């Protein structure tokens, strides 16, 4: 067995649970988590020559997995792997360090919390989120439609995602799902 393969195998053993937790936390259906994790590890193995071993392998492979989930979200119409498109889109926009691995079954609590948090927003904010995530308009297109700058729309969306994440975490922690 080559030294590279042995090192990679060791990394897979260390990171597989964490990688699966991230993929599940991003809203991927339980039955698709292992497939996406395996695909992430296969891609990592193929690109192993590009990886600097001084860097964090776990962060690297989780970045690969995030891109795979984003691709699955774009392909949603062809293959139903995503549990909730709006939650996954929101979580993909969230910084990776803000995500916490979810325990089994907790994703439904987060979905319920997201729904409650969305309904608690002012109509104007809900409309903006609707334009971005349900009509899939770019910030530039939204800005044109609302007669605002694209940068202002991006900043507002960033603040809304942050507020929603805090609301979801608060509701889940309080058991108010």
For the chain, domains (ranges, CATH) are 3-84 (1.10.1740.10), 106-174 (1.10.10.10)
Can you tell me the distance from the alpha carbon of 58 to that of 128, in angstroms, rounded to the nearest whole number? Answer: 35
Asked if 165 contacts 126 with a C-beta cutoff of 8 angstroms, the reply is no
Q: What is the pLDDT of residues 119-139, one digit of tens each?
A: 899 999 988 988 887 777 888
Q: State which residues of the chain have pLDDT below 50.
A: 78-83, 97, 101-104
Q: What pLDDT, on a 0 to 100 scale, did the predictor assign at position 139?
A: 87
pLDDT given for residue 113 in this prediction: 85
Confidence at residue 94, expressed as pLDDT on a 0 to 100 scale: 62
Q: What dihedral do alpha carbons 100, 131, 129, 122 form, nearest 10°?
A: -170
pLDDT at 82: 47
Report residue 19 as tokens: 């990688």
Using a cut of 0.85, tell me whether the model's pTM lies above it: no
Instruction: State residue 155's pLDDT score.
Output: 93
Res 47: pLDDT: 92
What is the pLDDT at residue 1?
57
In this prediction, residue 131 carries a pLDDT of: 86
N-to-C CA span, the chain: 50
């Amino acid at each position: 067995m080559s030294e590279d393969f042995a090192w990679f195998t060791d990394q897979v053993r260390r990171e597989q649970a964490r990688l699966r937790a991230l993929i599940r936390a991003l809203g991927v259906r339980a039955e698709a988590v292992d497939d996406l994790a395996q695909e992430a590890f296969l891609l990592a193995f193929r690109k192993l020559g590009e990886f600097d071993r001084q860097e964090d392998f776990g962060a690297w492979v989780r970045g690969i997995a995030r891109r795979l989930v984003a691709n699955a979200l774009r392909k949603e119409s062809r293959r139903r792997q995503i549990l909730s498109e709006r939650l996954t889109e929101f979580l993909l926009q969230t910084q990776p360090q803000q995500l916490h691995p979810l325990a089994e079954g907790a994703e439904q609590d987060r979905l319920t919390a997201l729904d409650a948090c969305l309904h608690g927003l002012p109509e104007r904010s809900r409309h903006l989120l609707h334009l971005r995530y349900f009509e899939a308009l770019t910030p530039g297109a939204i800005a044109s439609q609302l007669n605002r700058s694209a940068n202002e729309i991006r900043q507002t969306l960033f603040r809304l995602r942050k507020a929603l994440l805090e609301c979801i975490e608060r509701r889940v922690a309080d058991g108010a799902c």
